[in-house]
Every structure is written in C-alpha cells, then in structure tokens.
Amino acid sequence: MIGIKVRTLFELNAKPIITAIYVRISTEEQAEHGYSIDAQRETLEKYCADTQRTVFRIYCDRGVSGKSINGRFELQQMMKDAEKASNT
C-alpha cells in the first residue's frame, strides 16, 4: 500500500495567512436582500476558517456609499493597518 499524505495549503506554507475582513452596507434594502453585515461577516469568517487563514481584524462601515472612500473610515483604517504591517 502506498502512503499518500494530503497536505493543506497552510501546511505547505509555513507562514500563516493573515487576513483582514471588510464588510459594508449602504442601505436597508441591501440588508433585506441577504447582504446584511452579519451575513457578509459570517460568509467571510467561514471562508477564512475553511482556508485556514487567521483573521487579524474585522472592519465594518455601516450606511456608507461605496462610490467613494470618503466617509468609509473603517476602510481607511484597514488600509493604514495594511501599510503599517507591510513596513514591518
């Protein structure tokens, strides 16, 4: 019998994959159609767990349009945190 060991991406890559999650909703209508903050977060957290990623932080902007970065304070913070992490 040939022994074959299946290795996950995490096992092959010695460094853990650090992930930030960003969720946003701009209207109540989106929430009513299944795009709620909680639904987005649950989907993304499940994906991270399934792919063995470590969640650094969850960033959330509520009631903010996606057309501009203005007013999307959590997105701006996520970008600052990513910049800081890339410089270390």
Distance CA 29, CA 85 (A): 36
User: What number of CA atoms fall less than 13 Å from residue 47's CA on the CB side?
Assistant: 10
68 carries an active-site annotation: no
Cβ-proximal residues to 83 (8 Å cutoff; 6+ apart), any chain: none
Q: Which of 26, 36, 68, 86 is catalytic?
A: 26
Catalytic residue set: 26
